[in-house]
Amino acid sequence: MGDDNVRWMTTGAAATVGLIMLVGAGPALAFGGCAERTATCYEKVRSADVYATVARPVVVAPARRDVVHTPAVIEPRPYRVEVSPQRVRAEHVPAAYGTVVKRSLVAPAQVRYDHVPAVVRRVHETVVVQPAGERWERTIGPHGQERMCRVVVAAVTRTIARDVVVQPAQRIAVTQPAVYRDVAVPVLLAPARTRHVVEPAVYAVEHRPVVLKPASVRVTEHPPVIGVAHERVLVQSGATSWQRVDGHGW
């Protein structure tokens, strides 16, 4: 009920109050009829209810949600994995020896001195035993005459042999070379050392699942289906009121 109902109730109340005043005004009036035929009469009546047809939205189908789960796409893929890591191992390498032939000195070089006698050669030469000169020579002629003549006297020579030193005696230094012998001598070819050996890592192939496409959830929202419902609703309730009627009996 709205404002119209309020107005109807107010009007009915006013009419009721007026009717009571009329009843109390004089004893000539009675509820069942009028004492005098010329009096004004009122009859209690009720007005019909007022209805109207209204359209209102109604939910034909409620809202719903469709959830579609799509699983992930997984495929095995080969992967190179390390089974054993690379490591460095220390390895002892002993010294290496060899043999080298060396000339060993048996006797050192020496110097000795040899006597070389003089070289003598025999030569012949003519020597003047008596040099040339002049002398007076006395001769007697056939007749006994004595004559003194100056005569040239030739030199008297003689061939003699003598030794001539062609090369004098000398002392010569003679060097005797050193005496060597081949001897096999052990030599160190490489000293002892520590060698680091790198052992490479060991790998293997294993298959691992790979997500090619992740799982997904698709949510589809469906709105509610709204329809229109027509219904008859009470617009105004009927009210009770006093209505003036003809006073000449019922």
Write out pLDDT tens, residues 56-112. 888 888 988 889 999 999 999 898 888 899 999 898 999 998 888 888 888 898 888
**Nearest C-alpha neighbor of 134 from the set 155, 116, 152:** 152
Query: What's the average model confidence in pLDDT over 228-242?
Result: 85
- The more confident residue out of 148 and 80 is 80
Contact at 8 Å (CB) between 178 and 105?
A: yes
Which 3-state string (H, E, C) describes 5-47? HHHHHHHHHHHHHHHHHHHHHCCCECCCCECCCCCCEEEEEEC
- Tens digits of residue pLDDT in 19-53: 444 444 444 344 444 444 556 777 788 888 888 88
Contact residues for 138 (Cβ-Cβ < 8 A; gap 6+): 146, 147, 148, 149
pLDDT of residue 250: 53
Q: What is the pTM of this model?
A: 0.28
Residue 7 pLDDT level (bands cut at 50, 70, 90): very low
Question: From CA 110, how far away is CA 65, in angstroms rounded?
Answer: 124
> Of all residues in the chain, what percent carry a pLDDT higher than 70?
82
pLDDT of residue 38: 52
Question: Is a pLDDT exceeding 50 seen at residue 238?
Answer: yes
- Tens digits of residue pLDDT in 157-178: 888 888 888 888 888 888 888 8
Tokens in use for 67?
């959830």
Residue 191 pLDDT level (bands cut at 50, 70, 90): very high
pLDDT of residue 94: 92
pLDDT of residue 247: 57
- The more confident residue out of 14 and 75 is 75
**DSSP element (H, E) containing 111:** strand 110-116
